[in-house]
Structure 1
Amino acid sequence: MDKSKTCFFTGHRKIAQSKIEIVKAQLAENIEKMITEYGVNTFIDGGALGFDTIAAETVIEMREKYQNIKLVMYLPCYGQSKMWKESEQFRYRMVLSKADKIIYITESVYTDDCMKLRNLKMIKDSSFCIAFCLMQKSGTGFTLRNAENVGIEIVNIADEIY
C-alpha cells in the first residue's frame, strides 16, 4: 500500500437523518476528487457505524467507475458488531464481503484502547483524510487533531454541510 495514494475516513456514528443524502453526495464528490486530482487508489475505513459505513458503501459503488480503487478495512477488534442491530450487522457483513482486504488492529475482542489504536494506524498509513466531524471533543476530533499534527490533508465534509 502506497501511503502517498491512501486516504482514510473518520466520522461520527450518528448523523442526522435529514443530512444523510447530502453526506453521501459530498462523500462521492470528495472521493472522486481524491482519485482524479491526487491519484488516491486506496481507501481505509474503520468499519464503525454511521459515517464509516456510508463511506465504505460509497467506495464500493464508485468501483463501477474507478475499477482500480481498493477498500481496506482496519477493524479495531474481533466481534466489533456483536452488539449492533441485525440491520447494522447485515450492512457490516456486506461491506466486509466486498472489501479488498481486512486488517484487525488488535488480535483480541474489544479493549479500552482498540478504537484509538485503529485510528492511529489509519493516520500512520495515509496521506489524506475525508472526515465528518461536528464535535471536536470526540474520537473523531482526536483523530483529526493527530492527523493534522503529522501533515495529513483533511477534508471535513461537515464544514461543507453545516
Structure 2
Amino acid sequence: MKGKTCCVTGHRDLPQNEINKIKAALEHEIDAAVTDGFTCFMSGFADGVDQYFAELVLERKQTNPALELIAVIPYSKRLDSLNKKTRTHELLEACADVVVIQEKYLPSVYSHRNRYMVEHSDRVIAVYDGRETGGTAKTIRFTHRMKKELREIPVGEIVLPDYLKPKTK
C-alpha cells in the first residue's frame, strides 16, 4: 500500500429509507479523501456499507486510475462465498489486492479484520447509528485508541439513553 490509506466500517443492516442518503454521504467522504490525497481504500466486503464503499471507489477508479481498492477478507471461506456471487466477484476482480486475514473461521475473525484495516489506514470512515455494541462500535473505539482520523456518517435517529436526555421540568 502506497500513499494515504482510508478504510470503511459500518452496519450491514441499514434502514431501507436511509440507503440513498448513506451512499451520497459515502460518495462525499470518498471524494473528500481523494481531494485530501488518499489513493488507497480498504473494504472488508461485508454486506451493506462495505460493499457500497467498494462500488463507489471502483466507480471513481474509472476516471482516476491512481486509486486502488484493497479487499480485506476475514477468512478463506468468506472469500469463496463472495466469489460465487457475480456482483462481488467482479468487485474483487477489480481490487489491487485481496488480503485474507486467516484461513479458518473463528468468532474473532471480524474484529481481526477490522483491526487490520484501522492499523493500516490513516482515515476511517464510519457509517454509524449510535448503538453501543457490535463490530462498528468496537472499530470506532479502536480507531480512537489508535489516534486515527475518524469521519462519521450518522444513520437514522440517534436514541439517547434516559440518563443522557436533558432534564425537563
Fold conserved between structures, TM > 0.5: yes
Which runs of 5 or more residues in structure 2 are unaligned?
A: 158-169
1:129 and 2:129 aligned: no
CA distance in structure 2 between the aligned counterparts of 1:72 and 1:5, rounded to whole angstroms = 13
Q: Percent identity?
A: 28
Aligned pairs for 1:6-155 (under 5 A) are 6-36=5-35, 38-80=36-78, 89-106=85-102, 108-134=103-129, 135-155=131-151
TM value normalised by structure 1 = 0.88
What is the CA-CA distance between 1:33 and the residue it aligns to?
0.3
Which runs of 5 or more residues in structure 1 are unaligned?
A: none
TM value normalised by structure 2 = 0.84
- Aligned AA for 1:26? A
Structure 1's 93 and 83: CA in aligned 2 closer, same or farther, altered over 3 A?
closer
Deviation per CA, 1:39-84, whole angstroms, max 9, x where unpaired? 1000010011111011101101111232211000110001116678
CA distance in structure 2 between the aligned counterparts of 1:76 and 1:45, rounded to whole angstroms = 11
RMSD: 1.9
Larger strand proportion of the pair:
2
What is the CA-CA distance between 1:96 and the residue it aligns to?
0.7
CA distance in structure 1 between the aligned counterparts of 2:154 and 2:11, rounded to whole angstroms = 10
Q: Which structure would you say has the larger Rg?
A: 2
Count residues with an aligned counterpart.
Answer: 155
